[in-house]
A and B are shown apart, each in its own frame.
Chain A
Amino acid sequence: MEQHKGDIQLIEDARNGDMTAFRTIVERHEASVAGVVKGILGDTPEAADVGQEVFIRLFESLGKFRGEASLSTYVTRIAINLSLNESKKRKRKFKLFGPLKEGENTSAEESTVDLKEMLYHELHQLDPEFQAVVTLRMIEGYSIQETAVVLEIPVGTVMSRLYRAQKKLKQVIARKEGYE
């Protein structure tokens, strides 16, 4: 029954204490949130924690949701912001404890590592703002317009970030294939 209701009706029901409605909201948006969070943080234990936090924030803010953006856009924004915060925290920790020691995941090992993993590794080296654009556009398949709306940045900024990220990611393939 709940599955057939629209997001707005489900939000209204959840506001009135109907946890089944909220459960349906979570089930409906878990895949897109997981795609965004894992795109930025990788398939790590923290990703599930951030995923939980996204929906807890959504639950807390149900009273304030006014439907100006679609629920999907709203929840994706929360997911992006929390994932970027976590990513920045990680980078600070990385700076604090220094880079990987020699021999740990170096280029010598790359030949045996799956190309897809290498691409994700490169993606996670990008600045968080670039990761967000790549995740939405290239991994989750959002259009340029949708990416701009979710991230609240101009279309031109999306395009320029994509361009720079694309060049970095291409280098991974070029290294693997041995030519540029």
Chain B
Amino acid sequence: MNKQETEDLYILSLDQKLAPADEERLLTALREHPDWARSLLQHKTARELLRASSPATFGPYFTAKLIHKIQNTGVVIDRQLFGMFKKFQLAAVGVVVALLILNVALAEQGSWKSVLGIEEDATTPVEQQVPFDFYETLNNL
């Protein structure tokens, strides 16, 4: 095993248990190359130095200051339900856009009025259209 492979295996061993065969290969490599072992120990040193030795804190009165801020700056619990339905909102917008695209694709006329379905199909001018005569219709029955 070369130095790079040994280092990779050593780093892996810091985070998970190695397979017995890998463990054996690593130990053998470290025994054969004490200088590699010394160098690899630096990985462990780095971890040990970084490891939090005592619980961190934001200093005295952190909680009191926080509660004071919440109570005095109008911070409130967001009880709106909208946030919970974001996925559904997105899906609904997607469906609307898809329908609009479909409508554009199938529209016979290219005008935006026809696409939105608000253009009158006025084949007969309005002034020539005969109003419906209710009484005449009844008499003819």
User: Residues of A with Cβ closer than 8 Å to B?
Assistant: 15, 19, 22-23, 26-27, 30-31, 33-35, 38-39, 47-48, 51-52, 55-56, 59-64, 115-116, 119-120, 123, 134, 137-141, 144, 159, 162-163, 166-167, 169-170, 172-174, 177, 179-180
Contacts and interface: CB of A to CB of B under 8 A. Distances in A.
Interface residues of B, number: 38
Given A15-B77, A137-B15, 16 more contacts: A19-B67, A26-B67, A48-B62, A59-B70, A59-B75, A62-B77, A116-B49, A119-B46, A120-B50, A138-B51, A141-B51, A144-B16, A162-B11, A166-B11, A166-B46, A177-B42
A174 B47 contact: no
Contacts of A33: 58
4 pairs of A and B residues whose beta carbons are closest in the complex: A34-B56, A31-B55, A173-B42, A63-B79
B76 interface: yes
Given A172-B46, A179-B39, A60 B56 contact: no
Contacts of A123: 50
Nearest to B69: A52
A63 B67 contact: no
Nearest to A174: B42
Contact of A38 (B56, B63, B78): B56
